[in-house]
Amino acid sequence: MRTYRRLAASTSLLLLLSLAVGGPASAATRGVSQVDFSFSPSTITIAVGDTVVWTNKAATTPHTTTSNTGLWDSGTMNPGASFSHTFNSTGTFPYHCTFHQNLGMVGTVIVQSAGGGGQQTLPATGASPWTLPFAWLGLLFLITGGAILLALRRRRA
């Protein structure tokens, strides 16, 4: 009897822990397309730790993504090529295409603190990728605990 109570208490504790732990937060990856002679979107808002991936979707035209302050430079990106940069500090980071800046091919990355309201790539609930597995684990513990308690009551009767 005492063993079953300990088992039920342990199961309850594991259930509470599994629901309380949301899993590790993950940085997001956001995309910017190089189409014709523009970046799309031309302004993107992200959180610290997020990565921006620029992809040249032009049919024949090479492009670059070059920071105005020298923070990054993709070099020449032929059609289909991609370049990524991870932003580890807050700020506003203007950039351009070296070949087509005079045609207005410019953009801006706005980096906010992690809780600063950057555009979310996760579901509207704010859930991390680990939430669903932990929720299922919690449900499993709940069912197991209920089954143990039911078995204990039947045994007493």
C-alpha 153 chain-centroid distance? 46
Q: Span 151-157, mean pLDDT?
A: 78
- Per-residue pLDDT tens for 36-47? 899 999 999 999
Which CATH number describes the domain made up of 29-112?
Answer: 2.60.40.420
Q: What is the pLDDT of residue 135?
A: 64
- Per-residue pLDDT tens for 83-108? 999 999 999 999 999 999 999 999 99
Q: Span 109-120, mean pLDDT?
A: 72
Distance CA 23, CA 145 (A): 23
Break the chain into its structural domains and give their ranges: 29-112
Q: What is the pLDDT of residue 7?
A: 52
Per DSSP, 101 falls in state G
pTM of the model: 0.59
92: helix, strand or coil: strand
What is the share, in percent, of the chain residues with pLDDT greater than 70? 66
Per DSSP, 80 falls in state T
Average pLDDT, the chain: 79
> Tokens representing 47?
């959180």
